[in-house]
Amino acid sequence: MSGKEAQLTQLLRPTVESMGYLLWGIELISPGKRPTVRLYIEAEAGVTVDDCAQVSHQVSGVLDVEDPIKGEYTLEVSSPGVDRLLFDSHQYSPFIGEMVDIRLRLPVEGRRRFKGTLMAVDSESVVMAIDEREFTLPLRSVDRARAHPRLEISQGKQ
């Protein structure tokens, strides 16, 4: 997480949580001149489009008053979805045994991209199995991580 993303998380978490949602994570995407602030929110009952709109309205007010991003930007609020980004070490644990994609800022064994099975996680690192080989990756070097859980599809009677 970048310094600006951490600042935005600290600024916006109280607002999101006071509305009854969990702030899953924040991405700051800067394509060209107009950056995008993307918030991912979670709730036990799931997240609807109306939930996203309500959070967007409240968060927009906080951003207007605090002005942490100079100039124009786009604000997006979304559910993390099934193949969700992972922002904190505690978010990895439910996905042990599942496929994950991890991109690092600094290479490990000459690689920056890893796609494999998540084997373990602690506050310092994640362990992935790729082609029957294990890699230990430092969490502080993770640029982006995404979980791809297996979805069980039940076959109805015909």
Instruction: Give the tens place of pLDDT for each residue, 32-88.
Output: 678 899 999 999 988 999 999 999 999 999 988 888 888 888 999 999 988 899 998
34 lies in the same domain as 67: yes
Total domains in the fold of the chain: 2
Q: Which of 78, 97, 130 is the last residue of a domain?
A: 78
Q: Which of 123, 21, 34 is nearest to 80 (CA)?
A: 21
Is 124 domain-assigned?
yes
Is 36 domain-assigned?
yes
Report the predicted TM-score, pTM, of the whole model to 2 decimal places: 0.82
Exposed (0-12), middle (13-18) or buried (19+): which is 97, by Cβ within 10 Å?
exposed
Q: Which of 33, 57, 78 is the last residue of a domain?
A: 78
**Max avg pLDDT among 3-7, 106-110, 148-152:** 106-110
117 lies in the same domain as 59: no
